[in-house]
């Protein structure tokens, strides 16, 4: 199928170039290309086969464990009622007034800076 080619010497002798030598060089290059592509494809198929086997072996283990476990009855607990304190209206008014003062101070050149924030 494949002719044995002596690779110790150069494929094309540029001193006495003939068209037949170019054809043999392309034939050799094409055969190397096909063998390389077939090798890579074969290795990828082997990797795919290994991953498929791993999936069969290890993917079903959690499903088996889930079937073996007995489901405990779920007890519903009433949520605790927490009383929420409403924020002081004076604080909200102060924040709104500060925002208005800051918006107005941008035009007049007066600088306004918020020093601290208090989360409610």
pLDDT tens digits in sequence order for the chain, 120 residues long: 566 666 666 655 566 666 667 778 888 899 999 999 999 999 999 999 999 998 888 876 666 666 666 666 777 777 787 777 776 777 778 878 888 877 777 666 666 666 676 766
Calpha distance 91→117 (Å, rounded): 11
Calpha distance 68→62 (Å, rounded): 10
- Name all contacts of 31-36 with Cβ < 8 Å and 24+ positions apart: 31/2
Does the pTM surpass 0.75? The reply is no
- DSSP calls for 66-95: HHHSPPPPPPP-PPPP-PPPPPPHHHHHHH
């Amino acid at each position: 199928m494949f002719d044995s080619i002596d690779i110790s010497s150069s494929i094309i002798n540029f001193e006495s170039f003939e068209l037949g030598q170019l054809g043999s060089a392309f034939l050799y290059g094409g055969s190397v290309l096909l063998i390389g592509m077939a090798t890579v494809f074969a290795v990828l198929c082997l990797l795919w086969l290994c991953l498929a086997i791993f999936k069969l072996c290890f993917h079903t283990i959690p499903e088996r464990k889930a079937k073996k476990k007995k489901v405990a009855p779920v007890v519903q607990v009433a949520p605790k009622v927490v009383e929420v304190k409403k924020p002081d209206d004076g604080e909200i008014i102060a924040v709104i007034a500060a925002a208005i003062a800051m918006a107005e101070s941008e035009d007049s050149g007066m600088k306004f800076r918020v020093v601290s924030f208090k989360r409610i």
